[in-house]
Structure 1
Amino acid sequence: MRAAALLAENSQFVLSFDTGGTAAGAAAAAATALKQHPALILGPLTAEEVPAVSSTIAGRVPIIAFSNDSVLRTQGTYIFGITAAQVTSAILRYARSRGIKSVAMIDDGSPWSAAAALAAGQAEGELGIRVRMLPVRPGQPLPDAGEAPDAVLLPGSGEAVLSAARGLKATGIQLLATLQGLDHRPEALEVLSGAWIASPDPVAFGTFASEFSARNGGNPGTIAALAYDAAGIANALRNANTLNAAGLLDGKGFHGVTGPVRFRTDGSVARDFAILVARPQGYEPVATSSGA
């Protein structure tokens, strides 16, 4: 993450403090950082660490935290990780624009799935779409889906998504997924062909990944891309002489490799996502949709 940030911001303005991966370590790192009089804090990463940093900073400096747990947001602490609510609302909004009126959502019991299910429930009234939850647990039989829906949403990843995709072939039911379900293996692309997926634009991410690899070696992931975007926001604000809370809340928002974002006063972050259609040869961006 630090290497990615240094691609977007001058190293003389980037100071790193090790949290040790614990709440106590995060609080100590934040206290040390405050002594340097920073204009902006990027991090921490984990849900355990975010409240410790928020309480230590106590609103004195804006915090761009990389957790995807939206419950941790508070005034002055912005949750910059890609959340289940953001991608779920984005894919449902696009699906509704394409005429989808009823969705069955597979809930595998994971925290990500639970957050996605909550977001889907909240989107029903806003979008005029009917969402039926289908809890699926390992070792248990699949529940009765009832009347066939227009689409099935799978917020998870891996073989569960591929298995569902195989089962939906030739049924006429549209498969919906989020970035968790992206799978670039040729055999997976064949199975997922035709699925609609909400995700950061792979073209923009690919450009960043190439630059990162050329400078540092290795292949960066989404977390590194978030660090790159956060540092890029800091760089843009500093160049505009608005590196402060007011600058961060500029309604025009910011563009990055993980997509356009806008910061809100309650600590939430609005994101726009690319809508991808899975093809046997790769993922094709076809539209843009706003998340929660």
Structure 2
Amino acid sequence: MLRLARSVGLLSVASSVPLIAAPRVNREPVAFLLPLTGASANLGLSMQRAASLQLPFGGKPVLATAVDTGTGAALAARAAIKGGAKMILGPVFAADVRPVLAEAAGRVPVLSFSNDISLYESGAFILGITASQLTTAILRYGRQRGLRRIGLLAGEGSWNTQVAAACARLQGELGYELVPVARPANLAGLGLELGRLAGGAPDALLVPDNAAVFVEAARGLAGSGVQLLGLMQGVDYAPAALQATAGAWIAAPDPTAFGTFATAFQAQHGGTPGTIAALAYDAAGIVQRLRTQNRISRAGLLAMEPYRGVTGTLKFRSDGSCVRELSILVAGPDGYQVAAASASA
């Protein structure tokens, strides 16, 4: 009798405590607009596979779908919205962003993988790593380390133009002298060319080109005393490249975080993912974050706390840009060491 009475008493107390409803899990579907056919199909498939590590595609209910942009980004957006997507992740290419925005017509937010800063204020959010973000990160670190005269090796193409614009814009904010450096026909004599500049060689030289050019420039600067600066395109794990660029400073995503992602990708799908696939992985992670807050919306993206992703810690602004924190890597014969965990850009 005593045992029964005690049980009844406990039941009575428990029943008097108000029940707390479990938080509702947001199950609104999202759509990734990716090139799954055509010349860029391998890229699109890699991105879908990367995103699937965080966010399952298909299933019941359908939380995410991949829609092919191979026959047109606007058609893909139309199909995604008709299918009930509450957010569009993509497209990949800058030229496709405005057609997608026109189709979305403000009904759903668009988080593009492009890094084209001309799309700021277009209505899309821009997730791609921009030349300005990388340039800001490396120059801020350089100024913190006492660099005052910073050279920029001239280059052609849109990327180099954006880097040059960022360098010019940051002079007033960071307080350094920008020294334009004409690209010599042979980078082997780069150190000598810098010595002939008015005012002498700069403290550092930013070479925003790919790894092949970056390594060649490093060899041309050997023994000059000029600090070599680079962006993520200059990263090269080949032993000869590491030996040549030892001591160089490079702005890039954290290699440890990227390595963890790459290992998971390889274990699940095989192969080696690139930076653009990592953007898709981060986009899926952002969706998962918004789901926990029950805010799959533009307002949710803007209110989201900084997201620590593989491509850097980031937070979106109302113009569609994002503040991104990147790592500063120091090259050495055995690889890259992180000198600054988060140079804000």
Q: Distance in 2 between matches of 1:284 and 1:222?
A: 19
Post-superposition Cα deviations, 1:51-101, rounded to whole Å, max 9, x if no partner, equal 111122122211111111111223530111111111001100000000011
Partner of 1:80: 127
Q: Which moved more, 1:217-226 or 1:38-47?
A: 38-47
Matches within 5 A, 1:150-165: 150-165=203-218
Report what 1:214 is aligned to: 267
1:59/1:75 contact within 8 Å kept? no
Task: Give the TM-score taking structure 1 as reference length.
Answer: 0.94
Aligned to 1:230: 283
| Structure 2 residue 57 is the aligned partner of structure 1 residue 5 | no
**CA, structure 1 residues 36+137, in 2 after alignment: closer, same or farther (shift >3 Å)?**
farther
* Aligned counterpart in structure 2 of residue 18 of structure 1, from 44, 68, 73: 68
Confirm or deny: 8 A CA contact 1:61 1:76 kept in the other structure. Answer: no
Shift of the 61–135 alpha-carbon distance from structure 1 to 2, 3 Å rule, reads farther
Please point out which of 103, 111, 114 is paired with 1:64.
111
Q: 2:257 aligns with which of 191, 204, 211?
A: 204
Q: Which structure's relative contact order is higher, taking Cα pairs within 8 Å and 6+ residues apart?
A: 1
Please state whether the residue corresponding to 1:220 is helix, strand or coil: coil
Q: CA offset at residue 107 of structure 1?
A: 1.8
Structure 2 residues without counterparts, runs of 5 or longer: 1-46
Shift of 1:137: 7.3
Determine the C-alpha separation between the residues in 2 that align with 1:137 and 1:35. Answer: 55
1:108 Cα offset (Å): 1.2
Q: Does structure 1 conserve the Cα–Cα contact (< 8 Å) formed by 2:116 and 2:130?
A: yes
Identical counterparts, % of pairs = 47
SS in 2 for 1:177: strand
Seen in structure 2, the aligned counterparts of structure 1 residues 94 and 251 have a Cα distance that, compared at 3 Å, is farther
User: 1-side partners of 2:153 and 2:206: how far apart?
Assistant: 6
Change over 3 Å in CA distance of 1:89–1:48 after alignment to 2: same
For the 8 Å contact 2:212–2:234, the answer to whether it is kept is: no
SS at match of 2:337: strand
Q: Which residue of 1 aligns with 2:237?
A: 184
Structure 2 match to 1:269: 322
**Aligned amino acid, residue 297 of structure 2:** N
Counterpart in the other structure of 2:148: 101
Query: Match for 1:165: what amino acid?
Result: A
Indicate conservation of the 8 Å contact 1:264/1:270, yes or no: yes
Q: Provide the rounded CA distance (Å) in 2 between the counterparts of 1:259 and 1:31.
A: 31
Larger Cα-atom Rg: 2
**How many residues are treated as equivalent by the alignment?**
288
Residue 247 of structure 1: how far off its partner (Å): 1.4
Contact 2:308 2:314 in 1 (8 A): yes
Scaled by the length of structure 2, the TM-score of the pair is 0.80
Stretch deviating more after TM superposition (184-193 or 31-40): 31-40
1:45 is matched with: 92
Question: 1:213, CA displacement in angstroms?
Answer: 0.6
Q: Which moved more, 1:54-63 or 1:96-105?
A: 54-63
Native 8 Å contact 2:150 2:177 kept in 1: yes
Structure 2 partner of 1:145: 197
